[in-house]
Amino acid sequence: MGRHDPSAARAAALASLLLCSFGALGAVQAVAATPSKFAAPDLLEPAKSALRLKQFADAAGRLATDPLAGDSRAQYLLGTLYLAGLGVGEDSQRARTLFEAAAAKGEPRAAYALAALAAYDSPANESAARTWLDTAAAAGHADAARLLQAGQLPLQVDPRVLATEPAVTLSMTIAAVRRGDVDTLAALWPLLPEDASDAFRRSVLHHAAESGAAEAVRWLVAHEARVDTTDTQGITPLMLAATAERADTLEVLLQSKT
């Protein structure tokens, strides 16, 4: 089992839940292949395009600027970025404020997000969570209605359910290894494409080595992650482990080369 901060893992899982399962990164991909020439242009499309390309800072800037700043959909998407710390500094309070503004305008995903935040509070605010679930369900949120009927709250998150497409799966896996969350790594690893890497061609092992996450490095090596892979600058995980100044991480990689 990996050793990780439960609160950090819980926050990361919640951010992924909102980004992937309930209409941010997952939903922005559901763009009509052949839109009607008579349809009004979607003002959110440039921001959606930036999200699809993982250009989170660009997307955040667009979502926060008029004419989108007052749009409930934009406020919801921007709130998820603040919650996850993608393209902006991680700020759960700012995320909550944006969700509240969007929910007040009838955005069901924002009401669901507030229900999830209340459920994830420590201690959990079950009363507020159920109130926001009621609001989300009344606005047409199917998952909120299902949870209400079952008498449940959005408390349990399976990372495999959130990994809706390769780019999201890779982002989630990288975040997991950097915080030393081997449990989430083990769940997501089988879903990754072979030789998955980020825009700089850095593998999951690169990121684990750079952060000095010895247990994650050990797990990856045991599961045949490529130790000799190089990024766009020719840097290997071993080089990054050396700069991280974690003797245990470096030792694992050195032993794997013998």
How does pLDDT run across 136-157, given as a tens digit for each residue?
Answer: 999 998 888 888 888 887 754 4
Segment among 30-34, 235-239, 245-249 with least mean pLDDT: 30-34
Can you give the pLDDT at residue 35? 44
Confidence of residue 194 (pLDDT cuts 50, 70, 90): confident
State pTM to two decimals: 0.57
Between 181 and 11, the higher pLDDT residue = 181
Can you give the pLDDT at residue 248? 85
- 3-state class (DSSP) for residue 218: helix
Phi first, then psi, for residue 105 (nearest 5°) are -95, 5
pLDDT higher than threshold 60 for residue 73: yes
Can you give the pLDDT at residue 236? 92
Between 231 and 90, the higher pLDDT residue = 231
Distance CA 187, CA 5 (A): 17
Can you give the pLDDT at residue 155? 56
CB atoms within 10 A of CB 40: 6
Give one DSSP letter per residue of 90-150, joined into a string.
--HHHHHHHHHHHHHTT-HHHHHHHHHHHHHSSS--HHHHHHHHHHHHHTT-HHHHHHHHH
Confidence of residue 163 (pLDDT cuts 50, 70, 90): low
Please name each of the domains of the chain with its CATH number: 6-28+46-150 (1.25.40.10), 163-256 (1.25.40.20)
pLDDT higher than threshold 80 for residue 108: yes
